[in-house]
Structure 1
């Protein structure tokens, strides 16, 4: 189950989530922002969420042992299943260990699917 943190901003969330999750999620957040620099970073449902054109693209969170990239779309998760070299998909969530933040190639693949699905380029 995802761990929410009481925070008003993404920066607060990343600071408060603690080790080892905060640094890993910060790395992933920074990589996402390189790929979609115009994304709005907000807290939604107590987790960092990236929006484009007012639509939620992906979110970040942590469980008791893993970090998570919330795909927010079962169809996107099904399309990506078995195609990524990092992490593991359960439901609509891509889990990864905090010791191995998702790389840019994986994030580009995920974000391409989600942006296409949302009709945003």
Structure 2
């Protein structure tokens, strides 16, 4: 479960997280914004949420010992795990956990974003 930080904006959230996680989360945030067409972002459930076409697509957070990308899709997490498509991080439920000092690559972020967008577009 992500640790909550008092934040009204993503910038507030990034300011509130520990220094060792701030740069990592900022890097992944940049990759998400570059990969999600017309992305919007905000705070929901005390973490940054990135939306596509008004639908929450992915979340990003800092936990005590790692950073997390919340896939917001148990079926996608299950498929990624079964297919062995992820070379970075560790899946825990529908959350991809990664080290505080090792942001996810653009390729991993793009793979996840493309798959989540396909799910949203299929609805």
- SS of residue paired to 1:119: helix
Task: Show the counterpart of 1:116.
Answer: 118
Residues 19, 100 of structure 1: CA spacing in aligned structure 2 closer, same or farther, 3 A cutoff?
same
Task: Show the counterpart of 2:52.
Answer: 52
Task: Show the counterpart of 2:92.
Answer: 90
CA contact (8 A) 2:65 2:99 kept: yes
- SS of residue paired to 2:19: coil
5 Å-filtered alignment, 1:14-33, equals: 14-33=14-33
Q: Over aligned residue pairs, what C-alpha RMSD do you find?
A: 1.1
Task: Show the counterpart of 1:102.
Answer: 104
Task: Show the counterpart of 2:79.
Answer: 79
* Structure 2 unaligned spans of 5+: none
Where in structure 1 do 4 or more consecutive aligned residues deviate above 2 Å? none
What number of residue pairs does the alignment pair up?
120
TM-score of the two chains, using structure 2 as the length reference: 0.93
* Structure richer in helix, relative to its length: 2
* Structure 1 unaligned spans of 5+: none
1:35-93 Cα shifts (integer Å, max 9, x gaps): 12511010011100001111000000111100000001100101111211110101000
- SS of residue paired to 1:41: strand
Task: Show the counterpart of 1:3.
Answer: 3
